[in-house]
Amino acid sequence: ESVDEFWATARRHLIRYAHNDFVPAIIERAAGSEVFDSEGRAILDFTSGQMSALLGHCHPAIVECVSRSVSRLDHLFSWMLSRPVVDLAAALANTLPSGLDRVMLLSTGGESNEAAIRMAKLHTGGHEVVSFDQSYHGVTHAAGAATYGISRRGYGPVAPGNLVIPTPNAYRPLFERDGRHDWRTELDHAFAMVDRQSVGSLAAFIAEPILSTGGVIELPPGYLTALKRKCEERGMLLILDEAQTGLCRTGDWYAFQHEGVAPDILTLSKTLGAGLPLAAVITSDEIESTCHDRGFYFGTTHVSDPLAAAVGLTVVTVLQENAFDRTARQLGDRLRRGLLEIQSRHEQVGDVRGRGLLQGIELVTDRESRTPAHDFGGAVTQACFELGLHLNIVQFPGSSSIFRMAPPLTTTDAELDRGLDILDQALTTVAG
Ligand code: PMP
């Protein structure tokens, strides 16, 4: 089949599910931090697939685990248990502070947040869910309702009871005091709005500890502690969605540990399956117990599937055996230093931010006005791809233009430096 035939068939038979065009390459194979196209060209994958291939593509331990498991135990009736499921639940609980001991295994991030929100509703008796205006939690009903608006344009109203507050963004602050981001005032104002809008039925606040799709926006130091207090004062649960930040990527096992504030419910997905569909909801005995007593039901087709659980167990074991939290910190420092150097050479790099191996750079037309450089960003993405680096750009209409970088934890120093060189070169070429 020729390349032209491939694209003709793709155009004829695929439903286009994103706002963007498909990446213009036929990917035949992936290994480690690279994907290879039909012409044999190696492309560095600094998005880890869809932010999931935490251990690089086709990691030998995962390949071995899938091959071994699939010929032995694949999929079971939803309420039938197997060892990999119970072992993974215990292994995850072991990586977490006590109080996060109960685990349910599902397939996708949206699903895990859906389940977490249902549990928060049952436990609190409320139905209102609050989130940040730049959050991404999925495309399903409740998770989608807590996700930024442009992802659900055209489908009518979302679930009643969804409230949003502004994302605290140090680069684009709403309030400043003495030239610094005054996030405390922002948060107080936001919750004053929540209290005014609420019908007195608050169930949960759902958040990513670093808003990734929203533009790699870290919550300011102290924010999570203050947010947790706001939740407690109102009898709401705090749900943290660590789809991207969980399992060592940011240099800690979980991003919430950076501030030492544990959520009431934690959801994991992307990184947990390291590229295969696996997600988890994790909570306390108390919440599990009230939910069960009140009839909690989440019997999906792939709940507690042994094959996916075996993969998750391998991921946790590989992370532990290689102390990948430390690796993420070291590689993250190298990436950060490289990006800061690039910033020193390119006026369009307005901000460098992130933690560990989740870094972002915000592109602006000039640093004074901080005007988003949308077209420039698009052209740089394309130039990077042509030079052999796949990067993801997140663009919010009328707001910002940010490159997201999350290479696998197995990336070598040389690969990291090659990616940085390509980015530098692409910025130079496009700036002309
Ligand atoms: N939460 C976060 C933080 C995410 O980044 C994503 C995916 N981009 C999701 C949830 C949704 O996960 P899924 O696409 O697997 O449903």
Burial degree of 217 (CB within 10 A; 0-12, 13-18, 19+): buried
Q: What digits encode the pLDDT tens for the residues 209-251? A: 999 999 999 999 999 999 999 999 999 999 999 999 999 999 9
- Do residue 120 and residue 182 come from a single domain? yes
Task: Choose which residue among 50, 213, 358 to substitute to test ligand 1 binding: the one with the highest number of ligand atoms within 8 A of its C-beta.
Answer: 213
216 CA to centre of ligand 1 in angstroms: 14
Atom of ligand 1 nearest to the CA of 138: 11
Q: What digits encode the pLDDT tens for the residues 290-314? A: 999 999 999 999 999 999 999 999 9
Between the CA of residue 165 and those of 119, 169, 224, 418, what are the distances in Å? 22, 12, 14, 39
Task: Choose which residue among 244, 249, 256, 394 to substitute to test ligand 1 binding: the one with the highest number of ligand atoms within 8 A of its C-beta.
Answer: 244
Q: Would 376 be classed as within a structural domain?
A: yes
| Per-residue tokens: 403 | 């490159």
Atom of ligand 1 nearest to the CA of 277: 15
200 CA to centre of ligand 1 in angstroms: 29
- Do residue 115 and residue 34 come from a single domain? no
Q: Would 68 be classed as within a structural domain?
A: no
Dump the DSSP string for 346-394.
-TTEEEEEEETTEEEEEEBS-TTTT-B-HHHHHHHHHHHHHHTEE-EEE
Q: Would 24 be classed as within a structural domain?
A: yes
Whether residue 137 has its Cβ less than 6 Å from ligand 1 = yes
Whether residue 33 has its Cβ less than 6 Å from ligand 1 = no
Residues comprising the chain, all counted: 432
DSSP classification of residue 179: T
Nearest to 389 by CA among 400, 404, 374: 404
CB crowding 95-124: b at 16 or more within 10 Å, else e: bbeebbbbbbbbbbbbbbbbbbbbbbbbbb
**Pairwise CA distance, residues 82 & 304, whole Å:** 8
For the whole model, what pTM was predicted? 0.97
Atom of ligand 1 nearest to the CA of 270: 15
Burial degree of 317 (CB within 10 A; 0-12, 13-18, 19+): middle
Domain termination residue (choose one: 321, 351, 383) = 321
Q: What is the pLDDT of residue 398?
A: 57
Give residue 384's domain range.
Answer: 3-58+324-431
- Do residue 354 and residue 316 come from a single domain? no
CB 361 within 8 A of CB 401: no
Residue with tokens 């397939």: 107
**Pairwise CA distance, residues 262 & 300, whole Å:** 27
Q: What digits encode the pLDDT tens for the residues 120-146? A: 999 999 999 999 999 999 999 999 999
The residue contributing the CA closest to ligand 1 atom 13 is 109
Q: Would 27 be classed as within a structural domain?
A: yes
Domain termination residue (choose one: 321, 339, 370) = 321
Q: Would 122 be classed as within a structural domain?
A: yes
Q: What is the pLDDT of residue 420?
A: 98
431 CA to centre of ligand 1 in angstroms: 33
Count of structural domains, the chain: 2
Q: Would 64 be classed as within a structural domain?
A: no
| Tally of CB atoms within 10 A around 49 | 18
- Do residue 42 and residue 176 come from a single domain? no
Domain termination residue (choose one: 321, 340, 359) = 321
Between the CA of residue 82 and those of 77, 104, 106, 278, 311, what are the distances in Å? 11, 13, 14, 16, 14
- Do residue 162 and residue 232 come from a single domain? yes
Q: Would 66 be classed as within a structural domain?
A: no
Atom of ligand 1 nearest to the CA of 50: 8
